[in-house]
Structure 1
Amino acid sequence: MAPTSPTLIGSVRRALALLELVAEHHELTAKRLSRMAGLPLATTYHLLRTLVHDGHLRHERGAFRLGPAAPRLAGQGYGQGARLPEWLRALGEELDAPVYYAVLDGGEVEFVTSVDAPRRPAVEEWAEFRVTAHAHALGQCLLAQLAPEARRAYLTRRPVIPLTPRTVPDEEALMRRLAGIRRGAPVVEREEYVLGTVCGAVPITVGGVHSAVAFSLPVDEEDRLEKTALRLRGRLERALTSHAFTVLV
């Protein structure tokens, strides 16, 4: 699971298209944005609400303009609104571990990107990431944010399969594990996706969008797994409080 550049999901492209249109024309109504972007009006309204919530747009007198957070999209440096890869790279250096980012989009676990840490490459995606969410901390973290019926629907499409001897054995065992995860708590797994690697993940919810950041460690460093997961949660909480990290959907 180590692509070298971000894989933009469709909803991110649509949100960026709306931002670009507003930046070019200075102010536009939702209906005009819908026509210009070629999007259904309902989809446009959903994206605009999220962009306004996160400060990238303002809604004034029926039109949308760039908001106070828009300049951060071109910012530089960790904690200063850096673009996602740079932000993750700085985070990985702090944690001394490769990091991964994924979102829930339409009930699917959509992997966005991973970033190597110095001298520590990200785990290779040997089994397709989106269909093996049951076996890695990033996927379990995202599935835990779904309602139970949505989890069942996901597992109907993406059934539990053994990847290693330590993979959760079946759907019922996974459902019990997910039900026991406290909201906002870090999630860890030990050699369930690939032998020799342990992982931790922390959920993020911004503007009603569910996403997660994860890290991986070699199994001989398992003793720092829990501590690193708590450290990651602290870093994300501070980033969210300072509005240094936003999610576009």
Structure 2
Amino acid sequence: MSGTTRSGSQAIDRALAVLGRFEGDRALGLTDLATESGLPLSTTHRIVGALCRNGYLVRDADAYRVGPRVQALVHRSDSAVDEVMPQLYAVAAGVGLAVSLGVQGRSTVVRVASARPPVEHSACQLPAEREPLHATAMGKVLLAFSPEGPAAAVRRLGELESFTARTSTSYAELVAQLAEVRRRGFASADAERVDGVREIAVPVLGSGGVVAALGVRARSKRLTDELAVRVLPPLRHAATEVGKRIQVLDRVG
């Protein structure tokens, strides 16, 4: 790899690190932005200048906010999600469980949509907006089918946080689980994020490979092995339909 390629890749990584600090309508000053990004102030200043010139950030008094080009990307993503909501509601009604669609963030799975079933359901069926990749079924799907390979994807996570007694915190153990996910074509997580809650998820295939994960979760006593077997076929069918309608779901920071 040439020095030019390495420096170009580094510049992109740094720009993404800066953009990743902005969530919602958050505004950040240059010093805070440099501190949170872990970059020198002078480097941050150059990156922010380039992002402003290209419309990704705008200056607001002594702080910066996301610009029109980022907002356009968000609007495109919202439109894409609207396209697949009928499939999500159909499978939710069929299996009697809430169904969620997630994409990969830096170290989390980000829930971009959920469809509730037309029957009474527990609040535990809806994941948080961001959940740890290594302790959730949707997260394991995204790690298992990562373009860089599951081993490298796990390595990027750093130390694996423990949430319950069943959370996988061993690098080797998690990589072995992901190999099984790739073999079976689905992932499960039983009481790994929340005690007493089980999850099942399948990959969503786009033109560039696996771009998202589709999953359900419920109390372990509700989502039994028998129900999991019944849920997988309609979940896989919905994932196929979602994949047909969304060519690319960009990763988010």
TM-score interval (norm. to shorter): 0.5 to 0.7
Unaligned runs of 5+ in 2: 1-19, 21-52, 57-68, 70-75
When normalised by structure 2's length, the TM-score is 0.57
**Coordinate RMSD, CA, aligned:** 3.8
Unaligned runs of 5+ in 1: 1-8, 10-35, 45-55, 57-72, 75-80
The AA in structure 2 aligned to 1:190 is D
- Provide, for residues 46-74 of structure 1, a one-character-per-residue CA deviation record: whole Å limited to 9, x for no partner: xxxxxxxxxx9xxxxxxxxxxxxxxxx69
Report whether the alignment pairs 1:194 with 2:194.
Answer: yes
Aligned to 1:91: 91
Aligned to 2:156: 154
Please give the alpha-carbon distance, in whole angstroms, between the structure 1 residues aligned to 2:220 and 2:125.
Answer: 15
Aligned to 1:204: 204
Aligned to 2:240: 237
Could you tell me whether the CA contact under 8 Å between 1:184 and 1:203 is conserved in 2? no
Could you tell me whether the CA contact under 8 Å between 1:217 and 1:225 is conserved in 2? no
Q: Secondary structure at the match of 1:151?
A: helix
- Provide, for residues 104-133 of structure 1, a one-character-per-residue CA deviation record: whole Å limited to 9, x for no partner: 356763332333323114537888734x21
Question: Structure 2 vs 1, CA of residues 220 and 108 (structure 1 numbering), >3 Å: closer, same or farther?
Answer: closer
Question: Structure 2 vs 1, CA of residues 109 and 216 (structure 1 numbering), >3 Å: closer, same or farther?
Answer: closer
Instruction: Answer 1 or 2: which has greater helix percent.
Output: 2
Question: Structure 2 vs 1, CA of residues 168 and 133 (structure 1 numbering), >3 Å: closer, same or farther?
Answer: same
Moved over 6 A (4+): 124-128
Count of aligned pairs between the two proteins: 180
> How far is the alpha carbon of 1:212 from its aligned partner?
0.7
> How far is the alpha carbon of 1:161 from its aligned partner?
1.9
Aligned to 2:48: none
> How far is the alpha carbon of 1:103 from its aligned partner?
1.3
Please give the alpha-carbon distance, in whole angstroms, between the structure 2 residues aligned to 1:245 and 1:38.
Answer: 25
> How far is the alpha carbon of 1:245 from its aligned partner?
5.0
Percent identity, aligned pairs only, is: 25
The AA in structure 2 aligned to 1:168 is S
Could you tell me whether the CA contact under 8 Å between 2:122 and 2:218 is conserved in 1? no
Aligned to 1:220: 221
Could you tell me whether the CA contact under 8 Å between 1:137 and 1:188 is conserved in 2? yes
> How far is the alpha carbon of 1:178 from its aligned partner?
0.8
Could you tell me whether the CA contact under 8 Å between 1:103 and 1:111 is conserved in 2? yes
Please give the alpha-carbon distance, in whole angstroms, between the structure 1 residues aligned to 2:102 and 2:113.
Answer: 7
